Structure 1
């Protein structure tokens, strides 16, 4: 079994306000986030070993994933991951929008960009009607 990309000490350095009574949950989520990265980006370990990826990148992404999952806002009733509430007065309407209701770990677009394989810089070019290229 491969080691997790981040540990509890690393998460505490990233997120100093981690509640001490939730450290067990955090440890499990660190593992889940590492598993998800390995499943979606199976070449990450090889890129780290080859020196083409800094080991701090998946460590940062895992810490972001765990913090995001554990800080999903909750309603007074205890529902987690509430994104917004909309209420009306008459004829009595109420809408709840959940952004991460089960507190799952997930990759954001920024996380995916950090983990993707680096591509060379692309140059803009055009074809001039006279036949020359710029």
Structure 2
């Protein structure tokens, strides 16, 4: 079942380009390939089933949250406190479920809002660990 709300929906991903003109894919999350030449665009909707199970989603989220936490640390993000964790998790849920109307997607909208909040928790908890490790080292 496709999600139409909660921050999901139209996501324009570079998919149509000449592979011979491909240069690189930046090592960041949700990056865009660097291509020398035009990039085409699909004008129809394409359903993207990226994870076959919740277990696969959790594995991927665990991997991505580690990368994102390191990027935040490298970018000099402010020290994570208990208040930061609570605020970030709560804001993500409110943004996805209320502000972005995730509740209109029904039960799956609620599950996605909760899952995205969990993803934010993992990222900031790992950033907290990295920051504490850096203070000791």
TM-score between the two structures when normalised by the length of structure 1:
0.29
Structure showing the higher strand proportion among its residues: 1
Please identify the structure whose Cα radius of gyration is greater.
Answer: 1
Structure showing the higher helix proportion among its residues: 2
TM-score between the two structures when normalised by the length of structure 2:
0.29
